[in-house]
Amino acid sequence: MLVRNLDEHKALAADACAALVEAAATVSPKGKQPSFAARARAHYVLAEFGNAQPRTLAGAFVKPVQGEDLATASVAQLTEWRAQLDHAYGPAAEATAIMDVSAGQGTLTEIIGFCRDAAGHA
């Protein structure tokens, strides 16, 4: 729909997607910075491309994540929920890209490239 809304300008859509992904992964809200200095970067990014209707993965966290390594446990819980949804409804994505800092998998540059390519193929 983005490409259609941009009068079929695929390059502009690709630039917009790349900028959105980079901002979502790297920009922290400015409020309370003097108190908290919370300049966190994304620990995990999952990008999906496909024609299926998007679905939320929030159901992965209906039960709170517990343990000493919440980041790794969260990724595991999200991955399991995604697999369960794909099993029940069929795959929701034709292609995916993952950046998982703890696992040393993927880079932000790869995610941005994936999103750029996906927008260009829409």
Residue 122 has a pLDDT of: 62
Side-chain half-sphere of 92: how many Cα atoms within 13 Å? 17
pLDDT at 33: 59
Tokens of 119: 């927008």
pLDDT digit string, tens, across residues 13-25: 999 999 999 999 9
| φ/ψ (deg, to 5) at 92 | -95, -10
pLDDT at 7 over 80: yes
**Stated pTM of the model:** 0.85
3-class secondary-structure state, position 85 = helix
**Domain residue ranges of the chain, discontinuous segments joined by +:** 2-121
